[in-house]
């Protein structure tokens, strides 16, 4: 409200006690010059104070104002004037940008895409130390993936999502997994290590984009259904991991069915189990590790096709979203800010320091079970075709 138009029979003021736009009925006489001067002083710094009033549908009972103009995006802010004449911001609760059916469809699309992708990748990872055992190619490739992912987590997620958005970050990051499947057709260090680096660099933005996307859908769905926000987000993540974990079933069934031999092989002159030597990859006389090139190419081809289907599903059927919380320009630049913040939190949080040994143990345990244990106790004794079943 322009201070120079306060001569009307009903004057408009901003309540300084509740910090909300209100209309206060007054006597139908003109303001004195002293009062006009006082009002001018309050709003002297607010050159555009009329914008605040135009954003409000003022009512005489003092309720919170509603916008008559175009509504801002959900969870964005509009200005309010405080008693000291400064402009602050408050949230506007707006209608979500998707309906319930569209939200549920996108949850399904994300879940299905990741199921196809990790049907390929998880099962191929399970086979690495047994199928690509020469010169430790399989173990080196898996190690490279997770070392690279550590560096990726520190720098890339904000930068990639800020530039591509959640929708396109997911399929583009998935293409790294396609390259990894292709590398397994000719599994040597010069093909597997570069492919592993690409997978590791894409993995952190992939999972960050997925989590951000599902969380935003959960927030919108909770508003539409008037349900608890945390409960809806947990439900969406539960549905996602229901699909995701099933990928271990389908992928391992593929490898076991393809690798199953016509007759049982026997282990001869070979020590398996606790006395198995992980470095003894070439001098064995057992057929339990051996597979024909035709079967290896068949498995790699199926996994490659599964990864391609994942990219196609997400690219075509996943809807693009605009996050309620818009990212600033800093998120669009490569910055060590997250790296620095992480280590500041690390050294200042005793709880975080105590979690580090647990995390290291968990990683080493999974590496041992998926690598050496698998090769020594399953592939060596029972055959690589039983690996998927177990």
Q: Are residues 115 and 245 in the same domain?
A: yes
pLDDT (tens place) for every residue of the chain, 390 residues total: 344 444 444 443 334 444 433 333 334 344 444 444 444 444 444 433 443 433 333 333 333 333 334 444 444 444 444 444 444 443 445 577 789 999 999 999 999 999 999 999 998 988 887 788 777 888 889 889 988 998 888 888 888 998 899 999 999 999 999 999 999 999 888 999 999 999 999 999 999 999 999 999 999 999 999 999 999 999 999 999 999 999 989 988 998 888 887 665 555 556 777 777 766 544 444 556 677 788 889 999 999 999 999 999 999 999 999 887 766 666 666 667 767 877 787 788 888 888 888 988 888 888 788 777 877 788 777 777 777 788
For residue 158, the enclosing domain spans 95-264+292-319
CA dist 362 and 368 (Å) reads 10
Q: Are 239 and 347 in a shared domain? A: no
Query: The pTM is what?
Result: 0.69
Q: What is the pLDDT of residues 304-357, one digit of tens each?
A: 999 999 999 999 999 999 887 766 666 666 667 767 877 787 788 888 888 888
Q: Is residue 30 part of a domain?
A: no
Q: 247 with 351: CB under 8 angstroms? A: no
Which are the contacts of 252, defined by CB distance < 8 A and separation ≥ 6?
Answer: 123, 126, 387, 388, 389
Residue 37 is assigned to a structural domain of this protein:
no
- Together in a domain, 119 and 212: yes
Q: Please check whether residues 309 and 340 belong to one and the same domain.
A: no
User: Are residues 298 and 353 part of one domain?
Assistant: no
Q: Is residue 297 part of a domain?
A: yes
Judge contact between 169 and 136, C-beta under 8 A.
Answer: no
Residue 183 and residue 233 share a domain = yes
Within 10 Å of residue 267's Cβ, how many Cβ atoms? Answer: 17
Structural contact between residues 44 and 84, judged by C-beta atoms closer than 8 angstroms: no
Q: What would the pLDDT profile of 108-131 be if each residue is shown by its tens digit?
A: 999 999 999 999 999 898 888 778
Residues 300 and 379 in one domain: no
Specify the number of domains making up the chain: 2
Q: Are both 308 and 353 inside the same structural domain?
A: no
Residues 300, 253, single domain; the answer is yes
Q: Same domain, yes or no, for 255 and 214?
A: yes
Do 156 and 303 lie in a common domain? yes
Same domain, 132 and 247: yes
């Amino acid at each position: 409200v322009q201070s120079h138009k306060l001569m009307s029979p009903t004057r408009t003021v901003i309540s300084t006690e509740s910090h909300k736009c209100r209309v206060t009925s007054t006597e139908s006489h003109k303001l004195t010059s002293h009062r006009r001067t006082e009002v001018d002083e309050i709003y002297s710094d607010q050159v555009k104070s009329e914008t605040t009033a135009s954003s409000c549908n003022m009512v005489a009972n003092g309720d919170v104002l509603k916008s008559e103009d175009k509504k801002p995006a959900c969870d964005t802010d509009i200005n309010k004037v405080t008693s000291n004449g400064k402009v602050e911001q408050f949230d506007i609760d707006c209608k979500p940008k998707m309906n319930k059916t569209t939200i549920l469809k996108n949850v399904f699309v994300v879940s299905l895409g990741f199921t196809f992708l990790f049907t390929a990748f998880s099962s191929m990872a399970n086979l690495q130390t047994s199928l690509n055992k020469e010169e430790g190619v399989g173990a080196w490739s898996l190690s490279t993936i997770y070392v690279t992912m550590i560096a990726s987590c520190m720098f890339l997620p904000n930068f990639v999502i800020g530039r591509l958005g959640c929708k396109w970050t997911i399929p583009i990051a998935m293409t790294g997994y396609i390259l990894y499947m292709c590398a397994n057709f000719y599994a040597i260090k010069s093909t597997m290590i570069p492919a592993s680096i690409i997978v590791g660099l894409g993995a952190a933005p992939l999972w960050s984009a997925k989590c951000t996307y599902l969380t935003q859908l959960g927030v919108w769905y909770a508003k539409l259904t008037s349900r608890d926000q945390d409960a809806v987000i947990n439900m969406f993540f539960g549905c996602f991991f229901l699909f995701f974990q099933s990928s271990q079933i389908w992928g391992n069934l593929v490898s076991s069915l393809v690798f199953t031999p016509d007759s049982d092989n026997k282990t001869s002159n070979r020590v398996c189990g606790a006395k198995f030597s992980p470095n003894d990859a070439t001098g064995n006389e057992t057929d339990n590790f051996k597979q024909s090139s035709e079967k290896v190419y068949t498995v790699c081809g199926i996994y490659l096709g599964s990864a391609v289907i994942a990219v196609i599903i997400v690219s075509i059927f996943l809807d693009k979203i605009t996050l309620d919380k818009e990212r600033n320009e800093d998120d669009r630049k490569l910055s060590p800010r997250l790296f620095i913040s992480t280590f500041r939190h690390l050294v200042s949080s005793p709880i975080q320091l105590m979690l580090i040994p647990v995390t290291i143990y968990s990683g080493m345990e999974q590496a041992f079970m998926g690598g050496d244990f698998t090769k020594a106790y399953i592939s060596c004794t029972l055959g690589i075709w039983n690996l998927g079943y177990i």
